Structure 1
């Protein structure tokens, strides 16, 4: 019988371990960045949906009144105040305006996303009442 001499078993070298840790670190960093972007996109989408609901609410008021000239103090002002209050269904840094031009009312909802001092988002819709 012949016995074969097996080579000595060696472990990983320090350089191989460091390369492995580096690759795993880059992967984890990518996952954290992806999570942050997903959260930001989710917040932006939620704010856009709230702006749409606010504009839809004012459009419904105008359509139900069958007149684009709604009362500024009793209807538009409370709506605009609510649009600027995130705790009451509004938006962060939000403003709501209704501009009338003939038989068309332009409803504009603007807001600044939380944590951003330069970005401004805006949702605009027009409501026309035939005469």
Structure 2
């Protein structure tokens, strides 16, 4: 009687193995999609941070050229407009705002922005001390 039970072929095992392998493959693919989404988000944040550094450098270069941290109001207004301008090929930041404060021969340049879908505001602060 035991030999009769053993000789019975197992049916459906290949189907279960295929379903388990599809489940494991699907979990792996979902993980890769999540990683790709995060990489795209971080790439956009790095691009915004780079753009903020370039805008701060533009203001600091003007200070070095004039050899003073105090700049004319027209230049400051134009620079702040450029920080906020998100038009094509304009180089601004989303919801961008730029400001600087002068203390003696030192200036602190602060640029803030908030990317669409971001929970918090991003901020870049640069300090320059002119000789």
TM-score under structure 2 normalisation? 0.85
* Whole-angstrom distance in 2 between the partners of 1:90 and 1:18: 51
Q: Quote the residue 1:76 is aligned against.
A: 76
Q: Please, which runs of 5 or more residues in structure 2 have no aligned partner?
A: 1-8
**Secondary structure of the structure 2 residue equivalent to 1:99:** strand
TM-score under structure 1 normalisation? 0.85
**Secondary structure of the structure 2 residue equivalent to 1:124:** strand
Q: Please, which runs of 5 or more residues in structure 1 have no aligned partner?
A: 1-7
* Whole-angstrom distance in 2 between the partners of 1:104 and 1:49: 23
Report the aligned-residue RMSD.
1.9
Runs of 4+ in 1 over 4 A off after TM superposition: none
**Displacement of 1:20:** 1.2
**Displacement of 1:11:** 7.3
Aligned residues: 122
Q: Which has the higher contact order (CA 8 A, sep 6+)?
A: 1
- Pairing 1:35-50 to 2, within 5 Å after superposition: 35-50=36-51
